[in-house]
Amino acid sequence: MRIALDAMGGDHGSDQLIAGALEAVCAFGHQVILVGDQQILQRALEQQAKIHLANCSGDCACARDLDAHLSRISIVHTTQVVGMEESPLDGIRKKKDSSIRVAFQLLHQQRADAVVSAGNSGATLAAAIKEVGRLPGIARPGIAGIFPTLKQPLVMMDVGANVDCRPQHLYQFAIMATAFSKALFGIDQPKVGLLSIGEEGGKGNALVKSTHEILRQSSLNYLGNVEGRDVFRGDVDVMVCDGFVGNVCLKLSEGLAEALVSMLREELTKSLKSKVGYLLTRKAYANVKKRTDYAEYGGGPLLGLNGTGIICHGRSNAKAIKNAIRVAAELVANGMNQRIVEMLGSSTVQMDGQEGE
């Protein structure tokens, strides 16, 4: 499996991205194509390879044959970068040789099987649509977010690509997220919920009420409206919402978790007794952190593309990049896009005439 990595994006520069690529090569045997400035990336790769070799434990290929191992990583040179704060559409239009556009060109040319990017999210989406286009029948590609719950992870879609939606868009999000849930988590009939502000079908805003009627008639495993309170219970596998609400949910959750940790840290360091107590409970905290760590899945997949792409958090660490590469490869291997096309094809729900390609 060949994964193109935009090695110029993200908040932390290329080092964490390349460290993640090395870990993915080591753990999964995939090939990684680093896309970006040849000179910068070559130097960073040499440095990170040394660090990786020094830290790499166990029976992996690095120790036996670093050169063979490194031969799985190649560099494709580009001269431009779309910055994190840059206007996505402008950046993509003007910078034809940007790392993110070239990464998706490799996908389009079948020189890569998937793309991973921790750069400007809007630019990643725009480059993807420009270079590989949408799957047939998909009105709007979107971004899925993976939320930890008390049970299995939940896939929420859309979490930011489409802020003003029609019911048909939400219906397609439900199909795409269902296909994703099947392909990544192996769930046979993912349970679908519609994010609303009351459990009865009649509750919600105009968009949600109309979407409820479409989902009810669909062949999806639709359970009905689900309230915000129940997102983290894990009673559904897929949660459908528009990209404005989904993005607010994603960021509110991050912010609340950070605020609670910050409050707890402040309280725990107030007395010697609680400091000692904290030392004894550190493992419990570490386990909760692991259970809620965004890096476990690396990022949000772009769904609805004629190809496979993962958008990672700008501040992704090596572990997040490694896992994003793993997830991207699994989505390709498990034929997620084929599943989406089949589900759309067998859908009995009539789409609005304006909604097509």
Which residues sit at the interface with a second copy, rule CB under 8 A?
Answer: 149-150, 160, 163-164, 195, 197, 204-206, 208, 227-233, 242-245, 247-260, 262-264, 267-268, 270-271, 273-274, 276-281, 283-285, 287-288, 291-292
Q: How many angstroms separate the Cα of 219 from the Cα of each of 14, 139, 146? A: 44, 19, 23
Cis amide prior to 97 (ω within 30 degrees):
no
Instruction: Give min distance, CB of 287 to a second copy, in A.
Output: 5
Which C-beta is closer to a second copy: that of 54 or that of 206? 206
Which C-beta is closer to a second copy: that of 63 or that of 276? 276
Instruction: Give min distance, CB of 75 to a second copy, in A.
Output: 32
Instruction: Give min distance, CB of 247 to a second copy, in A.
Output: 4
Candidates 165, 311, 145, 159; CA nearest to 247 is 159
Q: At what angle do helices 206-217 and 167-185 cross, to 10 degrees?
A: 60
Instruction: Give min distance, CB of 118 to a second copy, in A.
Output: 17
Which C-beta is closer to a second copy: that of 64 or that of 283? 283
Do 321 and 298 contact (CB within 8 A), yes or no?
yes
Instruction: Give min distance, CB of 174 to a second copy, in A.
Output: 17
Instruction: Give min distance, CB of 151 to a second copy, in A.
Output: 10
Which C-beta is closer to a second copy: that of 228 or that of 335? 228
Which C-beta is closer to a second copy: that of 179 or that of 215? 215
Greatest CA span in the chain, whole angstroms?
67
Rounded CA-CA distance 108/282 in Å is 47
Rounded CA-CA distance 293/18 in Å is 20
Pairing of strands 299-303, 142-147: antiparallel
Which C-beta is closer to a second copy: that of 106 or that of 159? 159
Candidates 333, 320, 331, 335; CA nearest to 24 is 320
**Cβ atoms within 10 Å of 176's Cβ, excluding its own:** 32
